[in-house]
Amino acid sequence: MYYEPRVHVMPQGSSSPSRMAIVARRLGFSGIIVMGINGSGDLQGLDAAYRIGGISVARGVEVASKDPRSLKGRISSLRDRYPFLAVHATSEPVLREALDDPRVDLVLNAGFRLTVPEARSARRNQVALAIDLQPMIRLRGVSRSRWLDLQRYNVRVARKFGIPLVITASPRSHLDLRAPRDMIAMAHILGITREEAIDALRLPGRILEMNQRRWASPGVEVLETGRNEERGI
């Protein structure tokens, strides 16, 4: 089950959720995650998108913050409201804080090299690292070469430390969506194997499934079987 985990729709993007879902289904996705920035504003047309057959449409939140303190506050206020939470790390302090928080599902790294302590935090907290493929299409010349070098470095660090990867085209229009096979081919340019890319496309769906289950504590699931029971995972 392939997922596009970072879909922005109207008014943040230029396409409706329904159009995104229909095109994603045609391209071969099993699901999309429609992201809102900091949980603010109404995303138009979500109810209609939920009713489209053949594809799962989930609501997520992308947390953007200028400093670690406000990031923690926003995560605390938003985590229980959404089944998928990503952090857009626009500074290194925010990146470090996000990777050190087990409540975060996915970190979007805005152009920083992962350090060894950051990689260890991501592995310990099972925070996935997003590889945004959009710059590969948009950038040209020296900027593109530098971006490729940075992503290849971060992919090597992620592989060395066992950090889960997610790949996305970050579509803001249905025209920005890319088929899974194309994303796998693009990821290969960054040193991501076919098997790793397939896992990266499937991981958002697994994260959603885990987050929609109830947990009494880390590793202990609450089951509803007439009465609450706890099962160690």
- Model pTM? 0.90
Alpha carbon of residue 206 to chain centroid: 11
With contact defined as beta carbons under 8 Å apart, do 205 and 47 qualify? no
**Distance between CA atoms of 49 and 65, rounded to whole angstroms?**
29
Q: Quick check: helix, strand or coil at residue 67?
A: coil
d(CA 179, CA 144): 22
- Per the structure, the count of domains in the chain is 1
Distance, in Å, from the CA atom of 85 to the CA atom of 62, rounded to the nearest integer, reads 6
Could you tell me which residues are beta bridge partners of residue 33? Answer: 58
Q: What pLDDT shows up at residue 90?
A: 93
Beta bridge partners of 168: 132
Domain region containing 149: 3-232
Cα separation, 48 vs 45, in Å, equals: 6
Length of the chain measured in residues: 233
**Residue with structure tokens 């329904």?**
18
Q: Which of 151, 96, 160, 167 is nearest to 125 (CA)?
A: 96
pLDDT along the chain (233 residues), means of 10: 97 96 99 92 86 98 96 97 97 98 96 97 98 96 97 98 98 98 98 99 98 63 50 37
Spacing of C-alpha 105 from chain mean position = 7
CATH classification at residue 97: 3.20.20.140
**Nearest to residue 7, comparing CAs of 177, 139, 145?**
177
- Spatial separation of the C-alpha atoms in residues 97 and 67, rounded to whole Å: 9
pLDDT recorded at residue 74: 97
Q: Are 94 and 112 in contact (CB under 8 A)?
A: no
Q: Strand pairing of 56-64 and 85-89?
A: parallel
Residue 216: predicted pLDDT: 45
Give the closest residue to 66 by CA, choosing from 45, 95, 30, 37: 95
Interatomic CA distance for residues 34 and 60, integer angstroms: 6
Contacts of 130 (CB under 8 A, 6+ apart): 5, 6, 86, 106, 107, 108, 109, 165, 166, 167, 168
Which pLDDT score is estimated for 135?
A: 97
Burial class (CB in 10 A: 0-12, 13-18, 19+), 47: exposed
Return the closest-CA partner of residue 58 out of 7, 108, 126, 127: 7
